Amino acid sequence: MTETRSGHATTLPIAKAITAGLRDAMRADDHVMLMGEDIGRLGGVFRVTDGLFDEFGALRVVDTPLGEAGIVGTAVGLAMRGYRPVVEIQFDGFVYPAFNQITTQVAKMHYRTGGRVTLPMVIRIPHGGGIGAVEHHSESPEALFAHTAGLRILAPASAQDAYWMTRQAIESEDPVIMLEPKKRYWIKGDVDPDHRPELSPWQARVLREGTDATLLAWGPSVPLALESAAAAEEDGTSLEVIDLRSLAPLDLPTVTDSVRRTGRLVIVHEAPVTGGLGGEIAARVAEECFYHLEAPVTRVGGYSTPYPPARTEHAYLPDLDRVLDAVDRVLQH
């Protein structure tokens, strides 16, 4: 890897850590290119690609026509030609026009060609709610993609992970969907671009140790889980907090190790609980930790409704009270 980094250890918001990750990946490998709507001169609606058009030009930072299937589909062809395209889907709710390309083509190309074709491409999706947006701008579609074999999914929740997961997703020979926590884009954190983290991006991380119950969260729900653990501590309850980080593959051992110690698991995510990733984790934990469980695995998530109008989203999204309520319930067992 060439030493062309954006800079040494520094403090960046998550959005800018992703920018730095993209920039450094593009400096290190001239086959890395970006595609998406408004990512060029504008720098993306969240400004994640800000400055990259000026540095790398229109052939490597491509303002595409407005067509998500076309964006993802042409990225497939570019990847087959030896490029490493990083696609930006403007908002989570706009990924569905590309759903066919992602599920029937991107996910399956390596498999259906008997391993002859690899598709090293990244699909970046700002996801989740809580920003007061209009319809289709606040969704959490991770279960749809986690259900699709052939895809990998990363969900950074810190600036350091945002930087390194961007680099590592681009380096992966498999297609990776990166779900970016849009309501946390401007939360700052330390980023060290000079030292590759020891922890694999495909592993979960225990952020806080505890003994009474485990809180498992990812993406935008991670800060909520930490906040909940801090609040619970004031009441004398010790919560362990795990940031899942990789939604596909699931790093189950980190979760089951924790649950074997605490005996209780609360899963927090913004997506509707029905058919959500929390249900898959609950089932696997039940299979592997049945005799260690003191209480049913409990989920706190979106209701089984479409994402509601913004003025009501506070009641739809998991919040401190709902998480602590779930913790109380598992502790009553």
Partner 1 sequence: MSVFQTTIPDVADQEPMIQLLAPDGIRTPHDEFDAVLDGSAGGGGDDDLQTPERLRGYYRDMVMIRAADLEATSLQRQGQLGLWASALGQEAAQIGAGHASRAHDYLVPTYREHGVAWARGIEPWRLLELFRGISHGGWDPAELRTHPYMIVLGSQAPHAVGYAMGLQRDGLVGTGDRDTDTAVLALFGDGASSEGEVAESFTFAASFQAPTVFYTQNNQWAISVPTTVQSRVPLAQRSRGWGIPSVRVDGNDVLAVMGAVRSALDAARAGEGPRFIEAVTYRMAAHTTSDDASRYRPGAEEQEWAEKDPILRLRRHLEQLGEIDEDYVKRCDEEGHDLAMQLHHHIHGMEDPDPVMIFDHVYAEPHPVVDAERAQYLEYAAQFEDEETAR
What are the catalytic residues? 137
Contact region with partner 1 (CB under 8 A), list: 9-17, 60-68, 288-296, 308-316: 60-68
> Which positions from 232 through 271 interact with partner 1, judged by CB under 8 A?
249-252
Give the CB-side neighbour count of residue 193, counting CA atoms within 13 A: 26
- Binding-site member from 2, 59, 235, 236 for partner 1 (CB under 8 A): 59
CB 125 within 8 A of CB 169: no
Interaction mask 153-192, partner 1, x per CB under 8 A? -------------------xxx------------------
- Binding-site member from 16, 124, 152, 264 for partner 1 (CB under 8 A): 152
> Which positions from 190 through 209 interact with partner 1, judged by CB under 8 A?
202
Q: How far is the CB of 9 from partner 1 (least distance, A)?
A: 28
- Binding-site member from 77, 275, 306, 309 for partner 1 (CB under 8 A): 77
# residues contacting partner 1 (CB under 8 A): 47
Closest CA to 318 of 241, 253, 223: 223
Q: How far is the CB of 171 from partner 1 (least distance, A)?
A: 10
CB 170 within 8 A of CB 79: no
Q: How far is the CB of 230 from partner 1 (least distance, A)?
A: 32
Give the CB-side neighbour count of residue 31, counting CA atoms within 13 A: 12
Contact region with partner 1 (CB under 8 A), list: 12-20, 40-48, 59-67, 271-279: 59-67
What span, in angstroms and rounded, lies between the C-alpha atoms of 161 and 269? 18
Does position 117 bind partner 1 by CB under 8 A? Answer: yes
Q: How far is the CB of 106 from partner 1 (least distance, A)?
A: 10
Q: How far is the CB of 321 from partner 1 (least distance, A)?
A: 34
CA–chain centroid gap for 242, Å, is 14
> Which positions from 82 through 111 interact with partner 1, judged by CB under 8 A?
82-83, 85, 97, 100-101, 104-105, 108-111
Q: Which two tokens stand for residue 102?
A: 């992602």
CA–chain centroid gap for 78, Å, is 24
Q: Which two tokens stand for residue 233?
A: 């501590």
CB 31 within 8 A of CB 82: yes
SS3 89: coil
Does position 73 bind partner 1 by CB under 8 A? Answer: yes
- The DSSP call for residue 242 is E
Neighbours of 121 (CB within 10 A): 26
Contact region with partner 1 (CB under 8 A), list: 3-11, 149-157, 311-319, 322-330: 149-157
Does position 70 bind partner 1 by CB under 8 A? Answer: yes
What letter represents residue 291's amino acid? Y
What letter represents residue 97's amino acid? P
Q: Which is nearer to partner 1, 87 or 217 (CB)?
A: 87
CA distances from residue 171 to 1, 108, 147, 262 in whole angstroms, order as listed: 11, 19, 23, 36
Q: Which is nearer to partner 1, 4 or 113 (CB)?
A: 113
CA distances from residue 12 to 161, 191, 252 in whole angstroms, order as listed: 11, 7, 30
Q: Which is nearer to partner 1, 148 or 228 (CB)?
A: 148
- φ, ψ (nearest 5 deg) of residue 164: -75, -35
Q: Which is nearer to partner 1, 15 or 98 (CB)?
A: 98
Query: By the criterion CB under 8 A, which residues form the site for partner 1?
Result: 33, 59, 64-65, 67, 69-70, 72-83, 85, 97, 100-101, 104-105, 108-118, 149-150, 152, 172-174, 202, 249-252
